[in-house]
C-alpha cells in the first residue's frame, strides 16, 4: 500500500529525535528535492521503504531487526531537517 | 536533550479514554485524557499503541480531530478486516487506557499565519484533519476564506455533518456523494472532477493553499486536477490514508 | 514504564488448534492475504513479459509468456510464512517448477539471484530452487495471480520466508558466490528458514 511520508512521522521521530516530515529530502538518483511528507512510502513489509516520488528510487529503508531500527539512507543525497521556508 | 521539555513528543504517554461519540454507524470519535499533552497544530496526527494481555501490541496513526485547546480527539473509521479499528469503535469504553505518541507531522498543518484562501478537499475519513483545521480557524477568529469539498459514498457516511453545516460566512462546506444521493439532494454527485473544482476551487491567481486528505488514489487524482488548474505543487499539501 | 494493558484488546487472528505443529516458531495463522510491497505494483503487458536465466550479464535462455504457459504446470497446496509473522496455511497455486526452467540451461552455479520488475531481488541456493519446492507461479486459488500479489508471475518458495518468493519475477541471475538481495542487504537473513527462525542476519 502506497502512502506518503506523513505516515512514518512517528517512526522518523523515533529515529531522528525530531519531526522530519517537513525535512527536505534530495534524491541521490534523480536530484529531485521535496519534503519527506511527499515521498512515496511502503509500510507493512519486512521494512519501511521510502521512495522518490519523481523517479521511484529508494531513498531510505528502515528494517526493524531484533527490536532495533536499522536505517539505510544511502538513497538520499541530502536530508535537511531545517530547510529555508 | 532536556528531559521534561521533550517528554511529550519523544515518548509514549498513557492516555485514558474520556468519552466516545458515535459519528456514524462505523465511525466513532474518541476523546482522550492526556495530562502531559504539549498542544498541537491543526492537521497533525498522533500514534496510538494498544497492548494485549499476552503482550502483543499494535500501533496505528490517527489524525487529531480537534483544535489546540480542546480535548485531544481522534475519529476512527471501522475497517471490516481491521485489527485495531473494530476494537476502538466497538469495544473501547471510557476509562480504558492506551499509549499515545505525538503530536506528529509538521508538514500537513495549518495555522492562521499560513494564510489562504484555503481549499480543503476530503475523501471519506480524510475529513478528520481538515475538520481540525476548520475548528482551529474558527477558534482563532481567523477570517481567512475557507472552502471544504467533502466526498463521501452516501449521506449516512458523512462525518460531522451537523457541525459542518453550521459553518457560514467565510467558511463554505460543499458535499459530493459518489454512490447514492437522497431525493432533493442539493449537493454535488459523483467523484471530484474538474467541472466540480471549477465551481469550488479558488482561482490560482488568488494564491490559494490546498489540503487534500483521503485514500491514496483519491488524493492523487485530486492533486493532479489542482496542478492542472495551475496550483503550484508547493501550495498543494497531501496526506494519503491508504486504502483504495 | 511498562505499557498498560488495553482492556479487551487482542490479536485479530488467534492461532487455531488445528494449526498446532504446522506453524514455525513465532508465527500466527491469518485467514486473509496481506499485501506487502517494497515498491509500486508494476504493470507489464503479457506480450512484453519474459522470464530469463542470465549469467554475467548475458541471457542464456529466455521464455515468453506463451512459452511458459506451454510447459507442464503443477497445482500445489502449500503453507506460506511471512517474516512479519503471519502464516497462511493451505494456499493453492499453479505454476511451472523452477527446475524445469533451470534444467534447460547448462551451468554449475551454486546460487541464484531472482530479479523482478521494479528492481526487487532475492538470493537463493540453487539446490533450493531445483529441489522440487520452487515454482514460477501464475495462478493463485484457481485464478490468475493478481498484480498486487505478484502477478502475472512470481517465484514461490514455500520452505523459506515469503520474502524469498519474489513478486513480479522476471528471471534468475546465476551466481558463483552468494550475493544478498534487497531485504538481505537491509538486515534480513541470507537464507531465511522459518523452521529455524532465521529472520535476521546472524540468526
Domain annotation covers residue A38: yes
At which residue does the C-alpha cell 517528554 appear?
Answer: B7
Record: contact B97-C4, CB cut-off 8 A: yes
- The pLDDT mean for chain C works out to 93
> What number is the average pLDDT over the span C51-76?
97
Chain B: residue nearest C85 by CA?
B56
Residue range B18-62, pLDDT digits in tens:
999 999 999 999 999 999 999 999 999 999 999 999 899 999 999
> What number is the average pLDDT over the span A54-61?
97
Domain annotation covers residue A85: no
C9 and B CB contact within 8 Å:
yes
Is it the case that residue B4 has pLDDT exceeding 90?
A: no
Q: What is the pLDDT of residue B10?
A: 61
- What is the C-alpha separation between B51 and B68, in angstroms, rounded? 28
Record: contact C39-A46, CB cut-off 8 A: no
C20 and B CB contact within 8 Å:
no
| In chain B, domain spans | 13-104, 112-240
Residue range C1-10, pLDDT digits in tens:
689 999 999 9
Among candidates B109, B176, B120, which has minimal Cα distance to B148?
A: B120
As a whole-number percent, the residues of chain A with pLDDT over 90 amount to 80
Residue B6: band (very low, low, confident or very high) from pLDDT cuts 50, 70, 90: very low
The string over A33-67, giving b where at least 16 C-beta atoms fall within 10 Å of a residue's C-beta and e elsewhere, is: ebbbbbbbbbbebbbbbbbbbbebbbbbbbbebee
Who contacts C174 (Cβ-Cβ below 8 Å, separation ≥6)?
C53, C54, C55, C60, C105, C107, C109, C111, C112, C126
Q: What is the CATH number of domain B112-240?
A: 3.40.50.80
Return the C-alpha cell found at A23: 525535512
Q: Which domain holds residue A28?
A: 3-80
Of the CA atoms within 13 Å of residue C95, those in its CB half-sphere come to 31
Return the C-alpha cell found at A64: 526493524
> What number is the average pLDDT over the span C126-140?
94
User: Residues B233, B237, B242, B244: what is their CA dihedral angle, to the nearest 10 degrees?
Assistant: -60
Residue C16: band (very low, low, confident or very high) from pLDDT cuts 50, 70, 90: low
Q: Which fold has domain B13-104?
A: Elongation Factor Tu (Ef-tu); domain 3 (2.40.30)
Q: What is the pLDDT of residue B1?
A: 30
Domain annotation covers residue A75: yes
Record: contact A1-B242, CB cut-off 8 A: yes
Q: What is the pLDDT of residue A44?
A: 81
Give the DSSP H or E segment for B211.
strand B209-214
> What number is the average pLDDT over the span A42-54?
94
Chain B: residue nearest A34 by CA?
B234
Q: What is the pLDDT of residue B8?
A: 39
- Give the number of beta-carbon pairs within 8 Å between A and C: 51
- Interhelix angle B3-10/A9-16, nearest 10 degrees: 150
Residue range B200-211, pLDDT digits in tens:
999 999 999 999
| Residues of chain A with C-beta less than 8 angstroms from the C-beta of C149 | none
Record: contact C36-A65, CB cut-off 8 A: no
Rg (CA), chain A: 12
- The pLDDT mean for chain B works out to 93
| Residues of chain B with C-beta less than 8 angstroms from the C-beta of C10 | 52-54, 56
What is residue B114's three-state secondary structure? helix
- Based on the structure, what is the number of domains in chain A? 1
- What is the C-alpha separation between C139 and C143, in angstroms, rounded? 5
* Equal fold, B13-104 vs B112-240: no
Return the C-alpha cell found at C44: 507489464
Record: contact A9-B10, CB cut-off 8 A: no
| Residues of chain A with C-beta less than 8 angstroms from the C-beta of C122 | none
Residue C132: band (very low, low, confident or very high) from pLDDT cuts 50, 70, 90: confident
Amino acid at each position: 500500500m502506497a502512502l506518503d511520508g506523513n505516515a512514518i512521522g512517528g517512526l522518523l521521530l523515533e529515529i531522528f529525535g525530531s519531526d522530519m516530515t517537513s525535512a527536505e529530502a534530495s534524491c541521490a538518483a534523480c536530484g529531485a528535492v521535496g519534503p519527506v511528507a511527499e515521498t512515496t512510502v511502503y509500510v507493512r513489509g519486512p521494512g519501511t521503504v521510502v521512495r522518490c516520488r519523481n523517479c521511484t528510487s529508494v531513498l531510505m529503508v528502515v528494517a526493524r531487526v531484533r527490536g532495533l531500527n536499522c536505517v539505510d539512507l544511502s538513497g538520499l543525497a541530502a536530508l535537511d531537517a531545517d530547510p529555508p521556508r | 536533550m532536556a528531559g521534561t521539555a521533550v517528554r511529550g513528543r519523544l515518548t509514549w504517554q498513557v492516555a485514558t479514554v474520556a468519552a466516545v461519540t458515535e459519528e456514524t454507524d462505523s465511525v466513532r470519535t474518541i476523546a482522550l485524557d492526556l495530562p502531559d499533552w504539549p498542544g498541537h497544530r491543526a492537521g497533525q496526527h498522533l500514534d496510538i499503541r494498544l497492548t494485549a494481555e499476552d503482550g502483543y501490541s499494535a500501533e496505528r496513526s490517527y489524525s487529531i480531530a480537534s483544535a489546540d485547546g480542546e480535548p485531544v480527539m481522534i475519529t476512527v473509521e471501522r475497517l471490516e478486516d481491521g485489527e485495531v479499528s473494530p476494537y476502538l469503535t466497538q469495544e473501547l469504553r471510557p476509562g480504558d487506557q492506551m499509549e499515545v505518541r505525538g503530536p506528529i507531522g509538521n508538514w500537513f498543518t495549518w495555522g492562521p499565519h499560513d494564510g489562504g484562501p484555503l481549499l480543503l478537499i476530503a475523501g471519506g475519513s480524510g475529513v478528520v484533519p481538515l475538520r481540525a483545521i476548520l475548528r482551529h480557524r474558527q477558534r482563532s477568529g481567523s477570517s481567512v476564506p475557507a472552502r471544504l469539498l467533502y466526498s463521501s459514498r452516501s449521506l449516512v457516511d458523512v462525518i460531522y455533518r451537523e457541525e459542518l453545516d453550521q459553518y457560514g460566512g467565510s467558511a463554505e462546506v460543499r458535499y459530493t456523494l459518489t454512490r447514492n444521493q437522497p431525493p432533493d439532494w442539493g449537493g454535488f454527485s459523483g467523484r471530484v472532477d474538474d467541472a466540480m473544482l471549477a465551481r469550488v476551487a479558488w482561482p490560482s491567481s488568488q494564491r490559494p493553499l490546498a489540503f487534500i486528505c483521503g485514500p491514496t488514489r483519491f488524493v492523487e487524482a485530486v492533486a493532479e486536477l489542482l496542478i492542472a488548474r495551475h496550483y503550484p505543487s508547493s501550495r498543494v499539501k497531501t496526506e494519503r490514508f491508504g486504502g483504495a | 514504564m511498562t505499557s498498560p494493558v488495553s482492556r479487551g484488546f487482542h490479536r485479530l487472528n488467534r492461532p487455531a488448534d488445528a494449526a498446532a505443529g504446522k506453524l514455525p516458531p513465532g508465527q500466527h495463522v491469518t485467514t486473509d492475504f496481506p499485501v506487502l510491497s517494497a515498491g509500486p505494483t508494476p504493470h507489464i503487458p503479457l506480450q512484453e513479459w519474459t522470464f530469463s536465466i542470465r549469467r554475467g550479464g548475458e541471457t542464456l535462455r529466455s521464455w515468453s509468456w506463451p512459452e511458459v504457459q506451454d510447459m507442464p504446470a503443477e497445482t500445489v497446496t502449500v503453507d506460506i510464512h511471512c517474516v512479519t509473522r503471519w502464516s497462511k496455511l493451505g494456499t493453492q497455486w499453479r505454476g511451472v517448477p523452477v527446475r524445469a526452467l533451470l534444467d534447460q540451461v547448462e551451468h554449475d552455479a551454486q546460487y541464484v539471484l531472482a530479479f523482478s520488475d521494479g528492481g526487487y531481488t532475492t538470493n537463493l541456493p540453487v539446490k533450493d530452487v531445483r529441489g522440487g519446492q520452487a515454482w514460477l507461479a501464475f495462478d493463485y486459488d484457481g485464478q490468475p495471480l493478481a498484480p498486487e500479489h505478484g502477478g502475472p508471475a512470481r517465484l514461490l518458495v514455500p520452505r523459506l520466508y515469503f520474502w524469498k518468493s519474489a513478486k513480479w519475477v522476471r528471471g534468475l541471475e546465476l551466481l558463483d558466490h552468494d550475493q544478498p538481495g534487497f531485504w538481505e542487504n537491509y538486515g534480513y537473513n541470507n537464507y531465511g528458514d522459518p523452521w529455524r527462525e532465521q529472520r535476521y542476519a546472524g540468526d
